[in-house]
Amino acid sequence: MKKTKSRGYLGSFVKSSIPDFGVSIFANAVCTLCTTVLPLIISFAIDSVVGNEPVSSGYEGFANALGGIAFIKSNLWIMAVLIAVIAVVNAAFTFVNNYFNRSGNEKMVICMREKLFSHVQRLPLSRGAMNSTGDIIQRCTSDITILSNFISNQLINLLRIIITIAVSMVFMFLLNPVLAGVSCALIVVIVAVSAIFRAVMEKRFKMCDEQEGVLSACAQENLTGVRVVRAFGRERYERDKFEKQNEYYTGLWKKTGVVTAMYWSSTEFLNTVQFLVLMITGTVLCINGTLSAGGFVAFLSYNALLITPLRELGRIISNMSRAGVALGRINEVISVPAEELGEYEGRLSGDIEFKNVSFSFGEGDVLKDVSFKVKEGSVLGVIGGTGSGKSTLAALLSRLYEPTAGDIYIGGRNVKDIPLATLRGNIGLVMQDGYVYSRTVGENIAIASEGAESGDVIGAAKTACVHGAIEGFANGYDTVVGERGVTLSGGQRQRLALARTLLRGTPYFVFDDSLSAVDNETDASIRENLKEKFGGATVIIISHRVTTVMDADEIIVLEDGKIAERGNSARLVANGGIYARIYEMQTALPEELREAERE
Amino acid sequence: MKPYRGLFVLMMLCELGISGLSIISPLFQSYAIDNFIARNSLDGLTPFIIAYCAVILVSSALQFIETRNGMNLEMTLMRDMRRATFNHLQTLSVAFFNVTPVGTLHARVMSDTESIGSIIVWDGNHGLRHLVYVTGAIAVMFMQNALLALCVLAIVPVIAVATALFQRRLIRLHRRGREINAKITAGFNEGITGAPTSKSLGVEKKLDGDFYKSISEMKRHNLKLSFHVSAFFSIITFASAVTLAGVLWYGGHITAEQVIGIGTLSVFMTYAQGLIAPVQWAILAIADIISVKVNLERITALLNTESDVKDTPEVIEKYGDSFNHKRENWEKIVGDIEFENVSFKYPDGEEYVLENFNLKIPRGTNVAIVGETGAGKSTLVNLVCRFFEPTSGRITIDGKDIKERSVGWLHANIGYVLQTPHLFSGTIRENLLYGKDGATEEEMREAVAKVNADKIVARMGGFDGIVGEGGGNLSMGEKQLLSFARAILADPAIFVLDEATSSIDTITEKLVQDAVEKLMEGRTSFIIAHRLSTVKNADVILVVDGGKIIERGTHSELISARGHYFNLYMEQFREEQAKAV
């Protein structure tokens, strides 16, 4: 079942390239024809036109078509022009072959890249669905290259190779079955020997690859641990360790080199031996009179024609497994079902309600039977310690994860029934560690708000108290940030993420510990700005700081995935529960200061 | 280059031999036809077979030697380059590593060297083969008939013009292709690491679109490149075929006039065709040459990077270099440190972060450095550890400028424990021995017990427990404790600690706290502190903001001053309380 599926994907990648590859295969055939015909014409020209050998039966028709051998002899330019014409055809079709092969390849690659990129972005976040970043990137880059190279460089040639082999074989058998039998028997030996060598070499290559991994890890560790190496003055130890692995790895390859050299020289040896055996047998057959001299020469040239395609065939077969692995790895990514985004249906309105929601990552519940309601236009504060499950609330509302039990409603509609594009388009979620895209600051802020004016961008930046910092950058809003640009501090990144979400102007906002790296003062002024500009929005503020949530209309206190307390700040303080304790701790003065105050 | 000369010479000899033999072997076929078949007898077949077998054997042997030698050369080159880059990296300062991503350096050591090795050897090998062929063919042709040889060489100007026209463009296109490719990889990276954010912002389609722009650009670019390469290829193929036609036409005439024999003409035709392959090879080799040039430039740049912190030859003479410590000449350290009029600015900075800074730190003093993230708390530590040199002024240890003793001596006496502890893959024992080579079982047990890490060792099945890559089998707190044990084994007089900000569970946190106190006992210490208890107990507190030291004093002094420290303290206090919830 898996196999048909993988072929299905491969089919969709290759589909658009088929016309190009078709043209390429055709042009390739013409080129092969030209390169095969050219030596024949040259030998005819030298032997019979310039030289005085009689025209052999095979060339008679050809000579007559050109006006008879006598005419050609007196007009040598005909042959020259003929060669030139073949050259033009060859050059033209070589061009067509190369160009269309490449174009087919590019179409296939762009198809794979596009599909993989959009798929990877839409993979659900649930644990286990994704491998490490490095691994996926490898699948998206080098595996694509391996697969596409195999298809466009080798698979495309398969047809030509098979035809060449078949045609040569047929001609050889027609010329002399005995000699052809000898040739084939020897070819079987050659193929068997090279198959054995290839198997040994593959094993060696694998060993080398593994050792390369060890060496690579050794270097990697040294580089990441450079401070420790320096601190303990262990440069010499590190050098010796690396040297040992380096030497061992080199030694392995050198040993592999012996096998490789044996492979090349022995196949070369067998080929020439095969040639020698054929030559002797052929000579004997000629002398017996069962074979003509011309037939013998022709036989040898067909035999020679056979060697290269056979070698290529061997290569294709041994590369096929690599390409198959690459295809399998790509398919593994694609066959993980992606999220269905659906259409944006416009603004949502109404209350947010969690009804008996539970969630677990597999072992132990993160949230247990949580129910609460956020009235439209009100502010809910969520407070709790690390691991209390407060961030999970935000992820569940945006359906980054699906609850294990219970339901979530917005305006009475189950979020499961709202298309993701609509749901996420209405919830402005700001995460603690929002990603900064590698583009300019301005583009980052406007990324989710199509058609935002620069005035709006600056407005949002001002609300998020990041305008000043941006102005301080070398190119202001045009400064490139992210992976390939300036690095931002934690606080700047958080405020940028905030500005980006505020600009979207969604009816719902969820701030998930999104100002944890911002100092208290700035935090306070941002909250002030928010109240002023987004007073009508429905907001959930998640934090571990009491000051951040204390102005909320209602506060829920999460402990071990359960709601421990709820109410407004004043009531919760009066209740004397967990919230009161947190409040006390976070607003209280340290012991010695209290004493100082008293004095 | 010297050590490779022998291998290169051998490669050349093999090539000569193989090329020579490949010219001889077709002769056997014509001999068989002319002598046995034409005469209709098998006389002399035995010597013929023996001669042929000899050629086959020699040829196979040469083939074997050549391949083996080539791989030897390739591997030796790679090994030596890896060694050179790796060893050079060991001598560079920590400052260099702060600004250069590990991935980049790793690529220098591993992949750049690999591509240089294989391209130089195999392209060199093929280049040589083609060169031998071209030179040989040209020589033979001129010996036979100079005029006809010139006729064949008429192709050279065509190739030259075509190459001149295409080469620069091809080089530019190849360069640009690399750039776009890097952009695509970065795009994939963004798509994967940024996925949670992209989902919550609902920007998947926009990113799809942007990415599609990059890959379309790549496609257009590659087609353009392919167009040029194919055109170049076809022009050369065409030119050489025209040459062939010319040779046949002119050669046919002079053969008819009996200036040359028919055999000579056929040889010329063979050569005229044989010249195509080397040229086609050269076109393809351009891409390799460009990439190897880039690789070579990168490696050269790395090898030419000098450490910011370097010992003078006199110091090296006495104390040894990074690989060979002359411990016999090392003085024992007491641990008095003094900053004397130290001014400092970072190499890439414009502003002085320290100006005429003076501080006396007698043996056993605990210095705590506090400030917000990014305020520049590491500066002092960087200077004491000599990761950077002061711009002016001097730092003395036991009254002697630290520059007058080697970096090796200094580092052997400073225990530096990082914010994110780094363990090497391997066993706990190997990691502990990193602190003190040849430490006894007893010493290790003592050190581990002192920092409360004995339970971890027991859990991991003793000192031979495997910690995994980067200590992955252990929790953050456990890694910290083991790195403390390692530092204790090293028994440094000066102790530098960059306290972890990352949250670890309360119980481990307490253990870490105790361990830190044990480590500070009797040692001069610098602590970049995040925990209030550590700060409060310090002898001197330095408050850093905007890169500069703005306050200094003891805890009670600074609290009553109600300055920056006071605010910082209050904030940290609340933060800790919040975490305790």
Q: Does residue A3 register a pLDDT over 50?
A: no
Confidence of residue A100 (pLDDT cuts 50, 70, 90): very high
A80 with B219: Cβ contact below 8 A: no
- What crossing angle do the helices spanning A293-334 and A156-175 adopt, rounded to 10°? 150
User: Where in the sequence of chain A do the CATH 3.40.50.300 domains occur?
Assistant: 352-436+502-598
Interface of A with B in 494-513 (CB under 8 A): 497, 500-501, 504
Q: Is A486's Cβ below 8 Å from some Cβ in B?
A: no
Name A370's bridge partners.
Answer: A357
Of A388, A372, A370, the residue nearest A558 (C-alpha): A388
Per-residue pLDDT at B426: 84
* Close Cβ partners of B355 (under 8 Å, ≥ 6 residues apart): B343, B548
Q: What is the pLDDT of residues A108-159, one digit of tens each?
A: 999 999 999 988 888 887 654 455 666 777 788 888 988 998 988 888 888 7
The predicted-structure confidence for B327-364, as pLDDT tens digits, reads as follows 888 888 888 999 999 998 887 777 788 888 888 899 98
CA distance A18 to B109: 41
Domain boundaries A352-436+502-598, CATH class: alpha beta
Q: Which residues of A touch B194 (CB under 8 A)?
A: 435, 437
Q: Which of B122, B140, B126, B124 is nearest to B23 (CA)?
A: B140
Burial class (CB in 10 A: 0-12, 13-18, 19+), B55: middle
Min Cα distance A128 → chain B (Å) is 14
Q: What is the mean pLDDT of residues A58-76?
A: 80
All domains of chain B, ordered by start, with CATH?
A: 2-303 (1.20.1560.10), 317-413+497-506+522-581 (3.40.50.300), 421-491 (3.40.50.300)
List chain A residues with CB under 8 Å of B485: none
pLDDT in tens, A505-543: 899 999 988 887 777 778 888 888 888 888 889 999 998
Distance of residue A95 Cα from the nearest chain B Cα, in angstroms = 5
Question: Which of A270, A272, A426, A560 should we substitute to test contact with B (largest number of B Cβ atoms within 10 Å)?
Answer: A272
Residues 81-100 of B with CB under 8 A from A: 82-83, 86-87, 89-91, 94, 97
- CA B79, B84, B87, B92 dihedral sign is negative
Closest CB from B60, B208, B374 relative to A265: B60
Does the distance separating the beta carbons of B227 and A221 come in below 8 Å? no
Interface A-B: count of C-beta contacts within 8 A: 409
Q: What is the pLDDT of residues A301-347, one digit of tens each?
A: 788 778 778 878 877 877 787 788 888 888 888 888 888 888 888 89
CB-nearest to B109 from A80, A219, A421 is A219
User: How close, in Å, is residue A131 to chain B by CA atoms?
Assistant: 10
End-to-end CA distance of chain A: 81
pLDDT at A554: 93
| 8 Å CB contact between B368 and B540 | yes
User: A425 in contact with B at a CB cutoff of 8 Å?
Assistant: yes
pLDDT score for A1: 34
Q: Which of B496, B527, B499, B563 is nearest to B369 (CA)?
A: B527
Alpha helices in B92-203 (DSSP H): 94-99, 102-107, 113-118, 124-144, 146-153, 155-193, 195-201
Task: Identify the closest residue of chain A to B52 by CA–CA distance.
Answer: A276
Tell whether B117 lies on the interface with A, counting CB pairs under 8 A: no
How many other CB atoms are there within 10 angstroms of residue A187's CB atom? 19
Scanning B504-543 for CB atoms below 8 A from A yields none
For the domain A2-334, what is the CATH code? 1.20.1560.10
Rg (CA), chain A: 37
Tokens of A168: 């040569």
d(CA B196, CA B176): 32
Distance linking the first and last C-alpha atoms of chain B: 66
Residue A12 CB partners (closer than 8 Å, separation 6+): A111, A115
Mean pLDDT to the nearest integer, A348-373: 88
Residue A407 has phi, psi (to 5 degrees) of -135, 155
Q: Is B399 left (phi over 0), alpha (psi -120 to 50) or beta?
A: left
The CA-based dihedral angle spanning residues B254, B259, B263, B264, taken in that order and rounded to the nearest 10 degrees: -90
**Which residue type is seen at B15?**
E
**pLDDT tens string A175-224:** 889 899 999 998 888 888 888 888 888 888 888 888 888 888 888 888 88
Q: Which of A260, A490, A590 sits opposite B573 (nearest CB)?
A: A590
Residue B366, classified by CB atoms within 10 Å of its CB into exposed (0-12), middle (13-18) or buried (19+), is buried
Question: Which residues lie below 8 Å from residue B472, measured CB to CB, with a gap of 6+?
Answer: none
Q: Amino acid identity, residue B81?
A: M
For chain A, what is the mean pLDDT?
85
The SS3 of residue B518 is: helix
Q: How many CB atoms lie under 10 A from the CB of residue A461?
A: 26
CB contact under 8 A, B252 and A45: yes
Tell me what pLDDT residue B137 has: 82
Helix (H) or strand (E) holding B486: helix B476-490
Q: What are phi and psi of A355, to 5 degrees?
A: -120, 110
The token duo for B233 is 């290829």
